[in-house]
Amino acid sequence: MARLIGTLRPAAAAAAFALSLVACIAPGHAEDAGQSLCLMLESAAKANDLPPAFLARVIWRESRFDADAVGPRTRRGQRAQGIAQFMPGTAAERGLDDPYDPVQALPKAAAFLSELRTTFGNLGLAAAAYNAGPARVRGWLDGTRTLPAETRNYVLAITGRGVDDWAKVGSADLLAPATDCEQLIASLQEPPGAFFSELKQQVESALSKPWGLVLAAGLSRDHVLDRYARVIGQVRALTGAPEPILTAARERGLNRIYKAWIGADTRPAANTLCARIRAAGSACFVLRAPRSGRT
């Protein structure tokens, strides 16, 4: 994939994320960027049985959705990296090759949080362990260690409950009622920074392609997000293949149709790439892009 975000250190990471998050319901691409982020977060959350709003709040608290984020230096001289703020050692343990690539990092963060919930019994303690480390939370529960004020504030900000409350409830999740992801993103997002500006540019670029390859499509949001989560790895393994994007649009007055799709400049180019994707084991067909104006 072309490295279009040259000013950011993980240039390919931000470009990959942008091309993975496109939604084309309305012409306001800044709004589309927020919805696109929600689609990506929801895909990672659902694949790991997490509430999407919980994952969104964790990632916002960690990095403000900044794929280029670098944390302060720890006593051991390390810094947390990327949108999910993985420490280098944790990234290696989790099999995360590039923490600055959100397409890789978000599913890894969701999987880690899911495992922490299984280990500690609920989402509040999972959040505490994500922030302070599992060993620190185990020691606190055993009465041999304390929790930093940062972790206490972190859990309260994400879940609306104090970590002591979570320790008392055991295997239960006492989260507030589900929040619409797009409303949550709008309420959390303070003036869009470089990440959202670049995402907006990628949205505009992706929507300009006259042809496309459809990898999954349908009225079921869950089906398409699940298919996207399973096919993304296969497509990323193909040299030179663009990242699939997620779109949501009303076509010919019908209900909203969700698609996992790759844009292409010409029909022959789309056919060639589609053949490569089929050879890799994924379904694919070529379609003229909506609103392309071509005949």
Active site residue ranges: 62
Could you tell me if 25 and 7 are in contact, meaning their C-beta atoms sit under 8 angstroms apart? no
Q: Residue 82 has which token pair?
A: 């990327």
Give, to the nearest 10 degrees, the angle between helix 134-142 and helix 123-132: 120
DSSP state of 100: T
Among candidates 65, 105, 86, 286, which has minimal Cα distance to 197? Answer: 65
Residue in the structure block whose two tokens are 């989560």: 229
Q: How many whole angstroms from its chain centre is CA 1? A: 18
CA distance 91 to 108: 9
Cβ burial of 72 (10 Å; 0-12, 13-18, 19+) is exposed
Q: What angle do CA 155, 59, 80 make, to 5 degrees?
A: 90
CA distance 173 to 220: 27
Largest CA distance in the chain: 71
CA distance 36 to 244: 12
